[in-house]
Chain A
Amino acid sequence: MDFDLSEEQRLLKESLDRLISDRYTFEQRKAYGQSAEGWSRELWAQYADLGLLGLPFAERYGGSGGGPVETMLVMEAFGRALALEPYFATVVLGGGFLRHGAGEGLCAELAPKIAGGSVTLALAQTERHSRWNLADVSTRARRDGTGWLVDGEKGVVLHGDTADRLVVTARIGGGQRDRDGIGVFLIDAKAPGVSRRGYPTQDGLRAAEITLAGVRVEPECVLGEPGAGLPLVQRVVDEGIAALCTEAVGAMAVMHELTVDYLKTRRQFGREIGSFQVLQHRAVDMLVALEQARSMAMFATMMAAEENADIRRNALSAAKVQIGRSGKFVGQQAVQLHGGIGMTMEYKVGHYFKRTTMIDTAFGDADYHLRELARRGGSLVAA
């Protein structure tokens, strides 16, 4: 058992840290966010040069064959930066569907383009009434010769407004919430029948509502087994949860640092506010919440590649519970301990708070996962 990074991982971390401190100051981020697409194409190209976009792909596809630990390092750095680029949507989620669900031909075509930065992806899974139930799918896919025609509406598709291709879940058979009968399709975002309404999100990213009207999908663009797509979706979502957990830890760590620094500089009643014990203890409680979250993000990273789906889901649910709870506490207290300044759009801390809040609402919040964990009833702590 060891928590050390390998030499290569250490170098990756160093180059990420350098990139973030050079290119992701708060002011720079604001400028990227104000561009038409809401993120920086120039940085995206730089990520490609650094090998970040090909990270999880095999070398024969132009990738570097990285695993969950490499993804963790990237996501934590992006959490610290509050990065706006569609890395999570494209590389973690989209890349996950390619790796676990696409045939050789599709991988050979698409993975190098993702790695090179010329194609971005988004996952169109949530629907207006599905909440976090991955099996709740009303969008339909029907046979059309050798291919398929997809009809339906998808919502809160992260980076769906700029994505070149969309990974879409659609029902081939069964009732709206049946676990069987789900298919996963890769759709060109500019294909006839696709319409998108893009918008900014609370946390400064972009998303889209997407309507699919008789969109044609070729047979090679079906991911996984048509009709048995749920385990594939679940698997990729679990990897996504692990990535979001580490992103949240990066954001929480910054909030904690900002808060402790502020306690040492802000003066009231003739002394540093950090000399007030009630604030000291609050800062310690934040540290405890942060470190517990960090531990669970590591656990999630380790368990994301677990083949046994039950064990994996319990682990990822547990991590999401911890991240949700810690994130809420650290975020709220970070704002509170800054007083009025913490409430302003001009100041960093609120932006981190908004991001961790939205991470909680992605793929199931803390209460949802606690309920799932309790419902499944498996013990987490069995030695």
Chain B
Amino acid sequence: MTLFSLAKRNIIGNFKNYLLYFLSMIFSVVIYHTFVSLRYSSEIEKNIESFQSMRSVFLQASIILIAFVAVFIWYSNAFFTKKRKKEVGMYSLLGLRKKTIGKMMFYENLLMGAGAVIAGVLLSTLLSKMFTMLLLRLLGTDVDVGFTLSLEAFGNTIFVFTCIILITSIQGYRLIYNFNLIELFQADKEGEPLPEVSMIGVIIGTILLVFGYWIAFQPVDSNGQILRNLLLIMGSIVTGTYLLFRTAIVYLLKKAKEHKSSYYNGINIIGTSHLLYRIKGNARMLTMIALLSALTLSAITIGTSQYYNFTTHAKQLEPFSYTYISKGDIEEEKIKEIIYEDKNHPVQAELTVPLLKVHTDPSDTDLPEYLEQLMAEFPEEDFINLISAKTFNQVSAALDRNEKVTLSGNEAAMIKPRYTHDSFSDYEGRTITLKLPEEEKQVRFTHLLEGRVLSWRYPDAYIVLSDELYSEMEKQIQPVAYKTYQVKDQKNTELTSNQLHQLGFDDLKLSTFYKVYKRGLESAGQDIFTLGFLGLVFLAATGCMIYFKQLTEAHSDKGRYEILRKIGVRKKEVLTTISKQSLFIFLLPLIVGISHNLMIVKVLLGINLIGGDISIPILTSIGFYIAIYLGYYILTVNTYYKIVNL
């Protein structure tokens, strides 16, 4: 019998043992290949304007996926190998040479890997059609997608998995060399000493977590700081979580054990001792699941928040449907004509917004912080835009906003700059000296307004003045007049918007709501897809991890529950204790994951990666996650119960 056929027989003979490992490899191949196929998809390329930027997002995501897939396969491999140590020991005892055994393990893993890649690629070809359609729909394009096979994608997948499988195969080869016989035989010997409670671990873990969270709540200014903080947070959270799972749970369980009146009360003794018995092996898994859950949740939260908020963002970036600088040329007539010709989108409001561009005095010391920074950045430019209260109120009315302002004398109102977290207290009582050709005027901030008036451009500094003051200044500088239109159903003004942009009147700084909206839609769609995809993968992975782990435990618990039944434990009690134990295993990482997620969201808000109203996205993501987890939980308890009651 050749080695190769021995390895083959091994696989067929112990199919059940192999199935789990095989399935997790297939799973990895499927997600990876599906994703890579999207990256190389010609269908998507044809239908998306910003395909290049999309590609880079996909590239980054696929790097994360490679890391994930590698860890996942490595994890399942370790799990699988552990269960086979005895078998390997047996071969050795039977007189097979180490080299022979090593080769056998190597071929075996290689064979399974090859099988998994083939199966995975086939499966994912079906899936990628579905995902392509989903992606295109999210991006607002509806097309029918056929089956396509991309050679590039195929090559990419093969390359990545050949590397991973080769590494795990080599690990398999070395197994027999890394342990001596007695260790191999004792691999699954029942009973391990109970882990000691290390108070130091609990303390360090807590400190690390508190530290990580504390950093998350610190304000950041520069990019360097952001990077440093992210690394610090990641390091302290990962280690902290692990230490806490490793130690605090043991501590809690031991405390539960010491509380005799509840420990020795019915089936509790079984649940607690089972959890304690396995905690060492479970700590790593729980950590991994808690962290993956946090990542998944954050991914989903970011995705949904972008999708949920992009219309609001677009409205802030581009308050009016169409905006341009009016210079009184004939060109303008052309624009006006096009806008009015669009009968599907009748004009609801047409407004002229006059605006004064001025500079501030460099020696001004009482500036609000934000303006001070702009001042330093643009020392030469007239970056301050002044509008009158009357104009502001007209804009509010035209855009159906409720915000109104009344100012008198040298009172001024700042329009809240985008991408800042400034509040009124940052401006209250501060003054700014406006430089006019004939004089300098000092105004005092008395309000902070939310409503945006014109298209967003950096530097973003709009100050509203009282009507008297404004008209006084108007005499000294020539205002720039913006012409703005608000039309009905502006989200669908693609045709008109394109027509206007094609006119090529660049000096009019023409901008349209539709263009901004569409760009937002594409990037939000892309984000929600990529993040959703990653989230789904992580979700499936965490679910599988718990599920598989619980099932293997169920198999090893079978004998224990049989004994319990023999001494008179009722089926109902068995179900109770299984539900409680599984709840513990599911709930802990979920709670920790949710809490980490909230912290991560806080960090992302701080660095403006997400913004707007995020309470609804957060709640939906968490709700969604809990619902899925509940499903996993019920499935696990059911299967567990069936296995031990066979």
- A is bound by B: no
**Which residues of B approach A to under 8 Å, CB–CB?**
none
